């Protein structure tokens, strides 16, 4: 077996991995012990990456449809790209460069981004290039720029080890950045004086480990941060020498925060005044490292929240020093790389300003073109609105799934139906977005690609290929270059595409990119593939002559602003875009789960990642459940002003009354309905254009769906359906559905046919009066398939035996009997808490009842002994 060093393709922690491969196939993965982001650790997602490397879900050859009435058909690359170039050229000729757009992804590599950026701005002449990073980090990027002068996180992961206080705001780090959370746990174990303050409306595995949980009302972060600053001022805890020497704007801000007394803020945020005082004192004692993510960013006041938090660091002089500073946690593996090359509608190459004519002239000169466009392009939400209005006529989507991830999904789907020509370039064939594509281009993915990514702490890592591209898949940048050359030949703007895109390999793109950074805040003029090869991942800046990258920024108190002083941002608390009302009385909060990633196109193919949470549960506070006479497992319709979904509910004390939570991962491929974002409005922050994906006002109504279905295949057509995988070595496809009435017999017949259950030796038992209708297939002494309709109470028991292959005789007897319930009240194993060691919640609870503590659980059941992602949940179960 061969091992190849690369980087995890999920979150912005940017863990190093060693990919095992044999005979051109990926066979294993382990953490890279030498990588400074993770030192060998991986979370449950990273540790199962190799299981996502199968080809079943992949797009393997180009597919084109020439008419919307026909399905796509397989074509060769030549025909595919010639067609795309022809359509783009025709539309640009007739309607101008701004009639086309590119929507990219924080999962592309920096080299991919660079080429697309040059294609849009340098060849076509449009700034209509934006990415899903808009949904993720644009408020953080804008906040850094406003306060500190550049989109550059000043701190680093090592600061966790030096901090005296960790201020975690709007981030369920335990779920979304698990390996970093392991580092937090280790720091806490080493340093009993470390204080952790967590700000989150919800009680999560992250807030469980905090010394102080500030469970604020949604959208009140600015008020909280101003309240803390008010205390710092009142108690003389600001570092005024630092403020006078290195900052501007404090006087005006001081007048503003005067209004944010602890008493008033306690009322606005719904927390205790004493907790505000305590948090402020711990923050001031420091050194304080702030870790923050989508709870701050995905908001119509996302930039305000970011700068208000940075204000606290500036006021206490806690920036650029070991253990101190603001550190936004990047959602995606390379959102930072995209920002570096300027691959967003309102950014420009190497942190240049689109509005600055000198910056535009510099890039035009570096690229060898007469000019680059000066008008800002359309940001993500604006882009899809312009598509819907017919102003953008051709859209190219690469490596992302906006039909699942954008807000106001009904409007986005309408846009995707209306656009004249849609190209989707993706590694996966069946996503919510590929369904709309006129042209589907198969791209390489993790384990197959070469290039670089930048993680949350500005660290650039190599991504390396362990296996060759499968089928006809091509690298993203190769597709973009080929298309650019074909398009250039058809455009009459005098630009020579062959000269603009001369790249033979990813390294030459990286070299051109680094040349554009020289003299900028992110200068990597001294970095090269050779250095990354010999010295490993490096942080930027890394200018020519440097031996190493810079660990922390602004240690000298000189900031990236024109005058070198940081700016206090004078912002005020603003309410949410959508307030709760009599018709929509509940606050919906959306978020991530531990074992899933984004729209599940990759993690949804790994059976063991589906065992922790099998369905998109809507979680309510028990009081709200009781008020609606709901019990765990009941069906509800959750409705916002834009759309609705049918879901199952469960109660949890982690929620505040009137708050509900829904995970964001499930989309139309895995459930009935378009997913959580169908409920969310497209309201955006006015500076970052990041939408308020974390909140909508909703109502929840009980639904009676007495007819149930449980089977092993994918189907739609029901009031409620969720499908996924279960099992481990051998995956089991699971479909749960419910409907107000029993469907026609032909539908069940069709389902049986799809499942291969319409065979003679399948056991059928039907008793209409008792609502029992079961079809069970036993093959080679084990359960091979089952379809239950009407009453499905035995589904979990049968699912378990599909996985373990046992109890065939018992199942046969049950299948032939007039029984719906499983024999002896047996059930399934329930949620799997420890994915690595396959340990279920029931087994953990049983051990806890016998008096086990964490060490005993780990020794007896082995749970939490491998990747550690489940340790916070084990602690929670222990505490409960
Ligand atoms: Fe990948 Fe997990 Fe590391 Fe994130 S924390 S980079 S998902 S292994």
Please write the tens of the pLDDT for every residue from 277-336. 999 999 999 999 999 999 999 999 999 999 999 999 999 999 999 999 999 999 899 999
Strand ranges inside 573-715, DSSP E: 586-591, 618-620, 635-639, 644-651, 659-663, 696-703, 707-711
Q: Which of 179, 598, 870 to mutate to test the pocket of ligand 1 (most atoms within 8 A of CB)?
A: 179
Give the separation between CA 685 and CA 138, rounded to whole angstroms.
10
What's the confidence (pLDDT) of residue 768? 83
Count Cα atoms within 13 angstroms, Cβ side, for 274.
1
Q: Which of 16, 42, 136 to mutate to test the pocket of ligand 1 (most atoms within 8 A of CB)?
A: 42
Closest ligand 1 atom to 179 CA: 5
Q: Which of 10, 597, 870 to mutate to test the pocket of ligand 1 (most atoms within 8 A of CB)?
A: 10
Q: What percentage of the chain reaches a pLDDT higher than 70?
A: 99
DSSP 634: -
C-alpha 334 to ligand 1 mean position (Å) = 12
Closest ligand 1 atom to 37 CA: 3
* SS3 state of residue 488: helix
Closest ligand 1 atom to 180 CA: 5
pLDDT for residue 802 is more than 80: yes
> Residue with the nearest Cα to atom 5 of ligand 1?
179
Query: How buried is residue 211: exposed, middle or buried, by Cβ count under 10 Å (0-12/13-18/19+)?
Result: middle
pLDDT for residue 201 is more than 50: yes
pLDDT for residue 743 is more than 90: no
What's the confidence (pLDDT) of residue 718? 62
Contact of 372 with 122, CB cutoff 8 Å: yes
> Residue with the nearest Cα to atom 4 of ligand 1?
11
pLDDT for residue 712 is more than 60: no
> Residue with the nearest Cα to atom 2 of ligand 1?
43
> Is the C-alpha dihedral spanning 872, 875, 877, 880 positive or negative?
negative
C-alpha 866 to ligand 1 mean position (Å) = 14
C-alpha 606 to ligand 1 mean position (Å) = 16
831-869 burial code (b ≥16 CB/10 A, e <16) = ebbbbbbbbbbebbeebbeeebeeeebbeebebbbbbbb
Q: Which of 37, 43, 183, 330 to mutate to test the pocket of ligand 1 (most atoms within 8 A of CB)?
A: 43
Q: Is the whole-model pTM more than 0.85? A: yes
Closest CA to 810 of 823, 791, 795, 797: 823
Closest ligand 1 atom to 47 CA: 8
Q: What is the mean pLDDT of residues 46-66?
A: 94
Closest ligand 1 atom to 7 CA: 6
Closest ligand 1 atom to 44 CA: 2
> Residue with the nearest Cα to atom 3 of ligand 1?
15
Give the separation between CA 140 and CA 326, rounded to whole angstroms.
10
What's the confidence (pLDDT) of residue 733? 80
pLDDT for residue 801 is more than 90: no
Closest ligand 1 atom to 31 CA: 8
What's the confidence (pLDDT) of residue 314? 98
C-alpha 107 to ligand 1 mean position (Å) = 13
C-alpha 46 to ligand 1 mean position (Å) = 5
C-alpha 565 to ligand 1 mean position (Å) = 35
Q: Which of 8, 333, 463 to mutate to test the pocket of ligand 1 (most atoms within 8 A of CB)?
A: 8
Closest ligand 1 atom to 178 CA: 5
C-alpha 470 to ligand 1 mean position (Å) = 24
Q: Which of 16, 37, 38, 180 to mutate to test the pocket of ligand 1 (most atoms within 8 A of CB)?
A: 38
Q: What is the mean pLDDT of residues 426-431?
A: 95
Q: How many Å from the N-terminal Cα to the C-terminal Cα in the chain?
A: 45
- Tens digits of per-residue pLDDT, 551-577? 999 999 999 999 999 999 999 999 999
Strand ranges inside 704-781, DSSP E: 707-711, 720-727, 731-739, 763-767, 772-779
Q: What is the mean pLDDT of residues 128-149?
A: 96
pLDDT for residue 791 is more than 90: no
pLDDT for residue 781 is more than 70: yes
pLDDT for residue 122 is more than 90: yes
Q: What is the mean pLDDT of residues 254-273?
A: 98
Which residue's entry shows tokens 């209509």? Answer: 128
C-alpha 666 to ligand 1 mean position (Å) = 20
Q: What percentage of the chain reaches a pLDDT higher than 90?
A: 83
Closest ligand 1 atom to 455 CA: 6
pLDDT for residue 771 is more than 90: no
What's the confidence (pLDDT) of residue 716? 37
Give the separation between CA 723 and CA 735, rounded to whole angstroms.
4
C-alpha 13 to ligand 1 mean position (Å) = 6
Structure-token pair, residue 712 = 């092993």
Closest ligand 1 atom to 43 CA: 2
Confidence bin at 717 (pLDDT 50/70/90): very low
C-alpha 10 to ligand 1 mean position (Å) = 6
C-alpha 32 to ligand 1 mean position (Å) = 12
C-alpha 179 to ligand 1 mean position (Å) = 6
C-alpha 128 to ligand 1 mean position (Å) = 31
C-alpha 111 to ligand 1 mean position (Å) = 21
Pairing relation of β-strands 288-292 and 165-169? parallel
C-alpha 463 to ligand 1 mean position (Å) = 14
DSSP 349: G
C-alpha 14 to ligand 1 mean position (Å) = 6
> Which of residues 131 and 710 earns the better pLDDT score?
131
pLDDT for residue 713 is more than 50: no
Q: What is the mean pLDDT of residues 95-116?
A: 97
C-alpha 738 to ligand 1 mean position (Å) = 35
Q: What is the mean pLDDT of residues 466-484?
A: 98
- Tens digits of per-residue pLDDT, 206-259? 999 999 999 999 999 999 999 999 999 999 999 999 999 999 999 999 999 999
What's the confidence (pLDDT) of residue 714? 29
Give the separation between CA 596 and CA 841, rounded to whole angstroms.
18
Q: What is the mean pLDDT of the chain?
A: 94
- Tens digits of per-residue pLDDT, 142-175? 999 999 999 999 999 999 999 999 999 999 999 9
> From residue 230, how far is each of 309, 501, 557, 750, 834 by CA, in Å?
13, 54, 23, 66, 44
What's the confidence (pLDDT) of residue 493? 80
Closest ligand 1 atom to 869 CA: 2
Report cis status (omega within 30 of 0) of the bond before 853. no
Closest ligand 1 atom to 9 CA: 1
For ligand 1, residues with CB inside 6 Å are 8, 10-11, 13-15, 38, 42-43, 45-46, 177-179
Q: Which of 15, 175, 176 to mutate to test the pocket of ligand 1 (most atoms within 8 A of CB)?
A: 15
Q: Which of 7, 12, 46 to mutate to test the pocket of ligand 1 (most atoms within 8 A of CB)?
A: 46
C-alpha 298 to ligand 1 mean position (Å) = 21
What's the confidence (pLDDT) of residue 745? 85
Closest ligand 1 atom to 46 CA: 8
Question: What is the CB neighbour count within 10 angstroms for residue 782?
Answer: 14
Confidence bin at 829 (pLDDT 50/70/90): confident
Q: Which of 175, 177, 866, 867 to mutate to test the pocket of ligand 1 (most atoms within 8 A of CB)?
A: 177
pLDDT for residue 390 is more than 50: yes
C-alpha 49 to ligand 1 mean position (Å) = 10
pLDDT for residue 730 is more than 80: no
Rg (Cα) of the chain, in Å, rounded?
27
Closest ligand 1 atom to 8 CA: 1
C-alpha 166 to ligand 1 mean position (Å) = 20
C-alpha 815 to ligand 1 mean position (Å) = 44
């Amino acid at each position: 077996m061969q091992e190849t060093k690369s980087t995890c393709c999920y979150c912005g922690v940017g863990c190093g991995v060693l990919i095992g491969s044999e005979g051109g196939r990926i066979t294993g993965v382990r953490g890279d012990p030498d990588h400074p982001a993770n030192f060998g650790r991986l979370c449950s997602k990273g540790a199962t990456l190799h299981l996502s490397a199968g080809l079943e879900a992949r797009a393997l050859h180009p597919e084109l449809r020439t008419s919307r009435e026909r399905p796509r058909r397989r074509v060769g690359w030549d025909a595919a790209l010639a067609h795309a170039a022809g359509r783009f050229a025709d539309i640009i000729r007739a309607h101008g460069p701004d009639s086309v757009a590119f929507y990219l992804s924080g999962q592309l590599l920096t080299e991919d981004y660079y080429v697309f950026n040059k294609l849009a701005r340098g060849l076509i002449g449009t700034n209509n290039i934006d990415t899903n990073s808009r949904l993720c980090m644009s408020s953080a990027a804008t906040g850094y720029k406003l306060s500190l002068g550049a989109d550059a996180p000043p701190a680093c992961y090592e600061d966790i080890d030096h901090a005296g206080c960790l201020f975690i705001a709007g981030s369920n780090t335990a779920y979304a950045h698990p390996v970093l959370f392991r580092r937090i746990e280790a720091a806490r174990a080493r340093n009993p004086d470390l204080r952790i303050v967590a700000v989150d409306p919800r009680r999560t595995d992250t807030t469980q480990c905090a010394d102080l949980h500030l469970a604020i009302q949604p959208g009140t972060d600015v008020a909280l941060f101003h309240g803390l600053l008010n205390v710092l001022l009142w108690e003389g805890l600001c570092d005024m020498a630092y403020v006078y020497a290195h900052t501007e704007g404090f006087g005006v801000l001081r007048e503003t925060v005067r209004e944010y007394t602890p008493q008033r803020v306690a009322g606005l945020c719904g927390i205790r005044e004493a907790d505000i005082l305590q948090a402020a004192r711990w923050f001031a004692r420091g050194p304080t490292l702030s870790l923050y993510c989508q709870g701050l960013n995905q908001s119509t006041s996302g930039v305000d929240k970011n700068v208000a938090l940075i204000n606290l660091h500036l006021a206490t002089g806690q920036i650029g020093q070991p253990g101190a500073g603001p550190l936004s946690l990047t959602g995606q593996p390379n959102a930072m790389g995209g920002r570096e090359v300027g691959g967003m509608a309102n950014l420009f190459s190497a942190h240049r300003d689109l509005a600055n004519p000198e910056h535009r002239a510099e890039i035009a000169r570096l690229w060898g073109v007469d000019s680059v466009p000066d008008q800002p392009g359309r940001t993500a939400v604006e882009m899809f609105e312009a598509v819907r209005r017919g102003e953008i006529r051709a859209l190219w989507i690469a490596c992302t799934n906006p039909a699942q991830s954008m807000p106001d999904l009904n409007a986005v789907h309408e846009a995707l139906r209306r656009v004249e020509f849609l190209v989707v370039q993706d590694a996966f064939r069946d996503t919510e977005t590929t369904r709309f594509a006129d042209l589907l281009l198969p791209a390489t993915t993790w384990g197959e690609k070469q290039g670089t990514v930048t993680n949350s702490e500005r660290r650039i890592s190599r991504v390396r290929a362990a296996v060759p591209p499968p089928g006809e898949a091509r690298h993203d940048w190769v597709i973009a270059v080929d298309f650019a050359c074909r398009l250039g030949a058809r455009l009459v703007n005098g630009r020579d595409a062959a000269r603009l895109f001369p790249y033979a390999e990813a390294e030459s793109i990286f070299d051109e990119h680094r040349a554009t950074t020289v003299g900028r805040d992110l200068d990597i003029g001294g970095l090269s593939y050779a250095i990354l090869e010999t010295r490993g991942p490096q942080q930027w800046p890394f200018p020519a002559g440097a031996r190493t990258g810079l660990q922390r920024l602004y240690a000298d108190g000189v900031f990236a602003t024109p005058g070198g002083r940081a700016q206090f941002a004078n912002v005020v608390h603003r309410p949410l875009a959508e307030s709760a009302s009599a018709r929509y009385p509940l606050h919906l909060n959306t978020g991530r789960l531990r074992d899933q990633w984004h729209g599940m196109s990759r993690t949804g193919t790994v059976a063991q990642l589906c065992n922790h949470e099998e369905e998109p549960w809507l979680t309510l506070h028990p009081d709200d459940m009781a008020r609606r006479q709901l019990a765990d497992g009941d069906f509800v319709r959750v409705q916002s002003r834009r759309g609705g979904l049918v879901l199952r509910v469960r109660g949890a004390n982690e929620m505040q009354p009137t708050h509900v939570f829904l995970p964001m991962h499930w989309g139309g491929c895995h459930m009935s309905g378009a997913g959580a974002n169908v409920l969310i409005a497209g309201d955006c922050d006015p500076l970052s254009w990041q939408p308020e994906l974390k909140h909508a006002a909703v109502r929840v109504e009980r639904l009676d769906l007495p007819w149930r279905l449980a089977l092993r295949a994918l189907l739609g057509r029901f009031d409620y359906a969720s499908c996924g995988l279960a099992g481990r070595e051998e995956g089991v496809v699971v479909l749960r559905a419910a409907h107000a009435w029993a469907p026609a017999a032909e539908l069940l017949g069709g389902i049986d046919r799809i499942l291969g259950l319409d065979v003679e030796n399948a056991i059928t038992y039907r008793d209409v009066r008792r609502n029992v209708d079961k079809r069970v297939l036993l093959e080679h002494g084990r359960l091979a398939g089952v379809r239950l309709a009407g009453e499905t109470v035995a589904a979990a028991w049968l699912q378990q035996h599909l996985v373990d292959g046992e109890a065939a005789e018992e199942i046969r007897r049950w299948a032939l009997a007039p029984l719906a319930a499983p024999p002896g009240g047996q059930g399934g194993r329930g949620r799997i808490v420890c994915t690595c060691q396959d340990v279920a919640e029931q087994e953990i609870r049983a051990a806890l009842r016998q008096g086990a503590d964490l060490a005993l659980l780990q020794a007896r059941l082995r749970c939490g002994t491998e990747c550690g992602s489940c340790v916070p949940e084990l602690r929670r179960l222990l505490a409960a």
